[in-house]
């Protein structure tokens, strides 16, 4: 009997399909990686299992960062498995190749990405030739059992889905072409002067960065302006109330224009831009009577809509300070591990129309849950029949690949504090959309002072919550008429009553620059990026898309931070000098399209045309190839010395001639005392040594103090990150100053020269001798451990580095170490052996007489957690005894089995045989790879083979040269060299 293979995108969907088909297709047997009955085999991916890559003959292995091999435009793409999901891919492919499986059903998510996931798996399963089995498409927007059965009754043909499949492949390949070629071209351009300056670009990440950079440019160029407000207090028979002067004739549309012709966005009806005029209004109004007119009307406020991923990330960032990445991880855990939330990677804020019964059941579950703070509201919704058809909530037209994030029928237990908080957040939103609107009474009162033929109106606003409706779920209650705790209530004024202006004072204020982006506001900007596009067709194409997808936006932000394009300070995202340099480069080269949302809008418009058969895939890809060639050509052929841009002039003078130092695209250079460059002395230093770009303030400090650091973010030529101080040092050979890295080797530290600590503040008492500890060179030292005027011969040994395994140790941490014996938990240490970052405390080890690492205690993988599900009844003593009795025989059996068959020893990686060349240095015995490195270092140190000028370089002696194959290597090369000299034989 032949069978049909159903491939879903996620395991949970595969299970839903099995449950829905069982009544009509028969019972399924569960296997490790699939379900099966007489008619169907049901399995699933876990998102993308396969990704595209250039074919072997077009893949650039060496010199990929040079213009010589660009552009890379392969005629077709090969596939490679995603490393972490290879096992799942093999399991799906195994089912697809079965001889009794004669056709496939694509049950991946109903959208472009779901189509791509299936098509790539199908192609990979076929290998060199197509799999050759007919395919049909299951198109689901609702996951109720009946909706799934209806979907199987109306499967779509492969021909119907061809347009969507073409669009999906085209988007994937276009992103690869632009990302790979753009990144390599910009990196090659920035590395022309030597070194390696990785400069990544991408269709989504670069326009996102552009949004942040443009906001920062607005902030930097912002000039604050003074303005005044006039605040008054009015006395009525019932009491006092406040008011603010305003101009009733002011309209936003009639606001004056700035010098650039743009409307002045800082104009307001209640702002006065002249101090004299503000004082006149205050003086004319003070102590005068005022007539009162008032308008009061009811208004309502509906609950916000259900969460999609972006709105959940934005609000969790604003409310709890969670990063977008953290919120996604928590939501994913609540979905996958606890089965408590529906699929979170969605851009829909509505539910399918047939989901009403499921929502009713979910509401009943919440009403009967152990959540004392929310269960009463769920019960109120159930008793009041609040869940009913409503297009604002249930609308198929507003559901895309997935529907809104809501609680499932599973009452979770064992949630962490953060998971509980996010779950409550989603449950409150879910409950609130079914509750009535909040009702307010809104009052607008105008108090007008008339004197000397002039009228001065003051506005007072009151807003009273009459019926809380959905706000009750958030703890809001109706405010009584005499409750003025929030300042929103206004004391009553009788019709025709004349009130007195008790006080009128002007308040001087300053306009503020726009706020920096937080993750919440940046996610909103990414989601609404299309709104800023002028072209109607492109704006329409991006209306539902924005920059990136809900599932990828968090990763885009984290990627920009990881590449040092942005810093996260508190909740603010601040672009770095590297980000400004990239935007300057794209503008200067004339490839601004890489930094504009219009590129995504244009792609979305054309991909939508492709989906509907109005544009061919070949035509679109030809355009992408042409665009890629244009980007590379612009970078490759740019022949001017610098890229035009908005550059800084430093305040610190040139150390060589005292001239003016100005920034250009690549360097900070002396332009002479004239500032024109005619009398320049030739002093300059690169803006991005070892791939890290100086901030302007850092460049100022370097010129002023001749040193700065330690700074993080440098990369060696081999790509390893490192931390270093930077110094400017006079070079006798060139008679000029030059920039150098200072790794803190302190060559003169042991020279016996007297060190003067006068003028320095002590950081604390030495843990060895209780003398004072100071900063000296690249270390923190006891004053008695170095020669001083008071004690020329050192008597103490305390010394601790300012940078330890790439972790800068600042003064505050040293003070804490000396005062308490331990620093805070520091998180930027990098292992010399594994190159991995790790966290540790620095602690004074009295036994060893030095500062050592102390690691935080390892917590249990799944610590006891709070639960709000119904508590399980406690076991009686009798039942516990019975259970123990039942377990006893099993325990005996297990013990016997263990005694009979002892466990095999764990493999430790020992037993690797060194080559004859390596054996001459470390011995011929089989050895673990980690031990090899240790033995090599012991040999290197014992024979003094570290280079005197550069401690990161190792000089080969007669024994090491056959191992290294050259006279000198860096410490970063050791692991790779050792690997070639070890074998398992």
Cβ contact 971:958 at 8 Å: no
Structure tokens, 425: 């957040």
Number of helices and strands in the chain (H, E): 25, 38
Distance CA 407, CA 361 (A): 11
Distance CA 469, CA 559 (A): 42
Other Cβ atoms within 10 Å of 54 Cβ, number: 17
Torsion of CA 412, 413, 414, 416, to 10 degrees: 50
780 among known catalytic residues: no
Distance CA 275, CA 283 (A): 12
Residue 867 vs residues 327, 370, 371, 426, 876: alpha-carbon distances, Å = 20, 8, 9, 17, 21
Q: Which of 343, 456, 665, 780 is catalytic?
A: 343
Residue 532 dihedral angles phi and psi, to the nearest 5°: -90, 0
Q: Where are the beta strands (DSSP E) in 130-288?
A: 135-137, 156-157, 226-236, 239-245
Q: Where are the beta strands (DSSP E) in 911-981?
A: 913-914, 953-955, 968-970
With b for 16 or more beta-carbon neighbours within 10 A and e for fewer, the 387-407 pattern comes to beeeeebbbeebbbbbbbbbb
CA-based Rg of the chain, rounded to a whole angstrom?
35
In terms of Cα–Cα distance, which of 978, 970, 967 is closest to 952? 970
Query: H or E segment at 477?
Result: none
879 contacts: CB under 8 Å, gap ≥ 6: none
Residue 120 vs residues 90, 475, 612, 625, 973: alpha-carbon distances, Å = 13, 50, 21, 22, 37
**Vertex 113: Cα angle to 625 and 610 (nearest 5):** 50
Distance CA 127, CA 50 (A): 13
Cβ contact 933:974 at 8 Å: yes
Helix axes 417-432, 356-367, angle to 10 degrees: 120
Burial class (CB in 10 A: 0-12, 13-18, 19+), 522: buried
Upstream peptide bond of 183 is cis (omega within 30 degrees of 0): no
722 contacts: CB under 8 Å, gap ≥ 6: 690, 714, 715, 716, 806
Burial class (CB in 10 A: 0-12, 13-18, 19+), 261: exposed
Residue 72 vs residues 171, 196, 357: alpha-carbon distances, Å = 17, 20, 54
Distance CA 944, CA 938 (A): 10
Distance CA 659, CA 670 (A): 6
Length of the chain: 985
Cβ contact 610:162 at 8 Å: no
Give the 3-state secondary structure of residue 412: coil
Distance CA 101, CA 137 (A): 16
Query: H or E segment at 579?
Result: helix 577-589
Residue 59 vs residues 73, 165, 427, 621, 767: alpha-carbon distances, Å = 10, 25, 49, 19, 57
Torsion of CA 166, 170, 171, 174, to 10 degrees: 180
Q: Looking at the annotation, which residues are catalytic?
A: 343
């Amino acid at each position: 009997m032949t069978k049909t293979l159903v491939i879903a995108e996620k395991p949970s969907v595969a299970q839903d399909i099995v449950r829905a088909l069982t009544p009509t297709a028969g019972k399924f047997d569960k296997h490790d990686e699939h379900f099966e009955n007489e008619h169907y085999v049901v399995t699933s991916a876990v998102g993308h299992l396969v990704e595209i890559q250039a074919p072997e003959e077009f893949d650039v292995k060496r010199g990929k960062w040079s213009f010589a091999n660009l552009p890379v435009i392969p005629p077709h793409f090969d596939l490679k498995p995603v490393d972490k999901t290879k096992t799942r891919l093999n399991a799906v492919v195994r089912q697809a190749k079965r001889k009794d499986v004669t056709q496939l059903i694509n049950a991946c998510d109903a959208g472009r990405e779901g189509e791509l996931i299936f098509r790539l798996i199908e192609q990979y399963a076929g290998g060199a030739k197509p799999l050759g089995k007919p395919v049909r498409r299951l198109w689901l927007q609702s996951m109720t059992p009946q909706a799934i059965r209806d979907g199987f009754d109306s499967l779509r043909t492969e021909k119907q889905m061809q347009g969507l499949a073409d669009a999906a492949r085209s988007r994937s390949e276009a992103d690869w072409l632009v990302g790979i070629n753009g990144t390599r071209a910009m990196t090659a351009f920035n590395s022309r002067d030597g070194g390696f300056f990785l400069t990544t670009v991408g269709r989504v990440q670069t326009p996102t960065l552009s949004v942040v950079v443009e906001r920062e440019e607005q902030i930097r160029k912002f000039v604050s302006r003074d303005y005044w407000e006039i605040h008054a207090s009015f006395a009525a028979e019932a009491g006092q109330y406040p008011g603010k002067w305003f101009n009733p004739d002011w309209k936003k549309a009639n606001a004056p224009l700035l010098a650039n012709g743009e409307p002045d966005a800082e104009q307001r009806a209640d702002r006065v831009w002249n101090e004299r005029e503000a004082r006149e209004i205050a003086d004319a109004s003070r102590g005068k009577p005022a007539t009162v007119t008032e308008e009061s009307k009811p208004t309502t406020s509906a609950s916000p809509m259900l969460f999609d991923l972006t709105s959940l990330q934005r609000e969790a960032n604003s409310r709890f300070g969670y990063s977008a990445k953290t919120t996604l991880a928590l939501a994913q855990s609540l979905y996958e591990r606890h089965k408590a939330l529906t699929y979170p990677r969605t851009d829909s804020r509505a539910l399918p129309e047939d989901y009403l019964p499921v929502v009713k059941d979910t509401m009943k579950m919440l009403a009967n849950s152990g959540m004392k703070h929310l269960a009463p509201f769920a019960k109120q919704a159930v008793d009041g029949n609040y869940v009913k058809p409503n297009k604002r909530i249930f609308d198929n037209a507003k559901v895309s690949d997935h529907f809104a994030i809501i609680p499932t029928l599973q009452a979770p237990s064992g949630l962490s504090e953060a998971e509980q908080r996010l779950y409550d957040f989603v449950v409150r939103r879910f409950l609130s959309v079914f509750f009535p609107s909040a009702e307010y009474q809104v009052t607008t009162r105008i108090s007008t002072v008339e004197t000397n033929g002039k009228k001065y109106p003051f506005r007072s606003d009151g807003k009273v919550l009459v019926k809380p409706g959905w706000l009750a779920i958030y703890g809001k209650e109706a405010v009584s008429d005499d409750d003025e705790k929030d300042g929103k209530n206004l004391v009553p004024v009788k019709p025709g009553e004349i009130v007195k202006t008790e006080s009128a004072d002007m308040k001087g204020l300053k306009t503020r620059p726009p706020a920096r982006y937080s993750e919440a506001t940046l996610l909103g900007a990414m989601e609404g990026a299309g709104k800023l596009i002028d072209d109607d067709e492109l704006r329409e194409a991006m209306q539902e898309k924005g920059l990136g997808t809900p599932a990828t936006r968090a990763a885009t932000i984290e990627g920009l931070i990881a590449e040092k394009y942005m810093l996260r300070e508190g909740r603010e995202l601040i672009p770095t000098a590297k980000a400004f340099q990239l935007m300057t480069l794209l503008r200067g080269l004339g490839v601004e399209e890489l930094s504009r949302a219009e590129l995504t809008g244009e792609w979305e418009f054309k991909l939508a045309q492709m989906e509907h058969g109005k544009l061919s895939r070949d035509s679109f890809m030809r355009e992408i190839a042409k665009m890629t060639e244009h980007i590379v050509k612009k970078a490759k052929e740019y022949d001017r010395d610098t890229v035009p841009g908005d550059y800084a002039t430093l305040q610190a003078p040139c150390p060589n001639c005292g001239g003016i130092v100005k920034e250009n695209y690549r360097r900070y250079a002396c332009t002479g005392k004239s500032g024109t460059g005619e009398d320049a002395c030739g002093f300059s230093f690169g803006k991005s040594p070892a791939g890290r770009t100086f901030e302007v303030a850092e460049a100022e400090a370097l010129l002023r103090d001749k040193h700065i650091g330690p700074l993080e973010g440098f990369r060696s030529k081999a790509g390893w990150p490192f931390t270093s101080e930077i110094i400017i040092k006079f070079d006798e050979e060139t008679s000029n100053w030059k920039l150098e890295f200072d790794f803190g080797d302190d060559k003169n530290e042991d020279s016996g020269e007297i060190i003067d600590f006068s003028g320095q503040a002590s950081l604390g008492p030495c843990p060895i001798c209780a003398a004072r500890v100071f900063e000296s060179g690249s270390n923190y030292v006891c004053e008695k451990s170095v020669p001083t005027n008071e004690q020329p011969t050192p008597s103490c040994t305390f010394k601790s580095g300012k940078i330890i395994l790439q972790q800068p140790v600042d003064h505050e941490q040293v003070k804490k170490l000396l005062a308490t014996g331990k620093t805070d938990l520091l998180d930027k240490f990098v292992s010399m052996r594994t190159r991995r970052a790790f966290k540790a405390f620095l602690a004074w080890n009295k036994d060893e007489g030095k500062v050592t690492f102390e690691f935080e205690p390892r917590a249990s993988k799944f610590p006891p957690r709070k639960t709000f599900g119904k508590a399980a009844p406690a076991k009686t003593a009798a039942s516990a005894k019975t259970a123990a009795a039942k377990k006893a025989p099993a325990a005996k059996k297990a013990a016997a089995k263990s005694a009979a068959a002892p466990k095999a020893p764990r493999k430790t990686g020992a037993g690797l045989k060194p080559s004859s060349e390596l054996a001459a240095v470390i011995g011929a015995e089989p050895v673990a790879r980690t031990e090899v490195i240790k033995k090599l270092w012991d040999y290197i140190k014992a024979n003094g083979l570290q280079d005197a000028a550069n401690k990161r370089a190792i000089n080969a002696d007669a024994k090491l040269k056959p191992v290294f194959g050259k006279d000198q290597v860096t410490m970063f090369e050791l692991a790779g060299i050792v690997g070639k000299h070890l074998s398992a034989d």
